[in-house]
Amino acid sequence: MAREVRDVVLVDAARTPFGKAGPGGMYAQTRADDMVVAVIRDLVRRNPNLPVERIDDVAVAATTQIGDQGLTLGRTAGLLAGLPRSVPGFSVDRMCAGAMTAVTTMAASIGFGAYDLALAGGVEHMGRHPMGEGIDPNPRLLAERLVDPEALLMGNTAENLHDRFPQLTKARADEYALRSQEKTAKAYADGVIQPDLVPVATRSTELGWGLATADEPPRPGTTLEGLAGLRTPFRPHGNVTAGNSAGLNDGATGAVLAAEQVADELGLSKKARLVSFAFAGVEPEVMGVGPIPATTKALAKAGLAIEDIGMFEINEAFAVQVLAFLDHFAIADDDARVNPYGGAIAVGHPLASSGVRLMAYLARSFQAHPEVRYGLTTMCIGLGMGGTVIWENPSYDGKDA
């Protein structure tokens, strides 16, 4: 039987406010799976035309799949959120690109015709489960030099990028980081970010119950002088600091995906239309360059050039990896198309959840810029990978900028 490939749309995306990891963070005593439940429930609330009994699957990613981030999160979170018991679910792990992979996996199933509607997202509670907790790497990885030892510490891979590309100076990284903070502050002031934030009840034995309504990590008072004075923990006299990197964070994200004709049939919104996606591998010790080959592959699959992309959402794990991407594609450091609402350096990067945060930001850019037809979301991935998803703007008015 011949199958027709169907267009897939992003119906909606939402997230919890992101918190600082650790005992002082706002989610220190909040369970990871409860954050996912809050997102799923809010997505259902925000989309009253979404028939929950027709959801075909739920994919939830986590990098550290133990404790309250284990036990097949997609299934358990769906049950806890009150989805019908007929709705299945599963877990995903592609480190930082977990939520991105959850989205592309669900989208591929929808495009193939196996599914009509799906939920995809991710969570990381880095305060409860630091990256690498409980792992037991096969000794062959290092003994046979399959992976450079520095590849196991992300900060070292960022320093390696500075070594490989000397033009990517600490000064450029700090300037980029400052712009991320400034753009995030402006986006908050303009009310761009808040509509996609899901309030989450928080618990503290000292303070009692609270409500998380805004991101905890942003530092709106950041200055270049302050950034220049930060220590370089990964290397003496290095380039990577807490100021030009994303922090350790807690948070969850979620998205509703649908076949476009199903979205039309049900009267669901269409915030972005999937065009293509690609993942690529690179040397693990310079994992920050991963978005470059992933984007090259995704563009080729779509029959597009980098010049066709009108909006970029690049995950800011480290400023240097964003700069490497921009230099490769001859894009200016301060190009207005890049992360217009700021990024992970300001709001945080709860590992497996961040892919959907990028998509939510891109959807907001699409809404604000009907003259832009194509945009992309891209991120570097631990152990030497990159992932890119190219999207089309459903609000495109045919008038090129």
Active site residues: 96, 349, 380
d(CA 384, CA 157): 9
Exposed e or buried b per residue across 258-281, where buried means at least 16 C-beta atoms within 10 angstroms of its C-beta = bbbebbeebebbbbbbbbbbbbbe
CA dist., res. 167 & res. 155, Å (int)? 18
Q: Which helix (H) or strand (E) holds 125?
A: strand 117-125
- Dist. CA 384–CA 192, nearest whole Å: 33
Asked whether the beta carbons of 133 and 66 are under 8 A apart, the reply is: yes
Q: Where are the alpha helices (DSSP H) in 47-144?
A: 73-80, 98-112, 140-143
199: which DSSP letter?
A: P
User: Which whole-number Å values give the CA distances from 352 to 67, 143, 160, in the listed order?
Assistant: 16, 28, 23
Contacts of 300 (CB under 8 A, 6+ apart): none
CA gyration radius, the chain = 20
One-character DSSP codes across 157-181? HHHHHHHH-TTS-HHHHHHHHHHHH
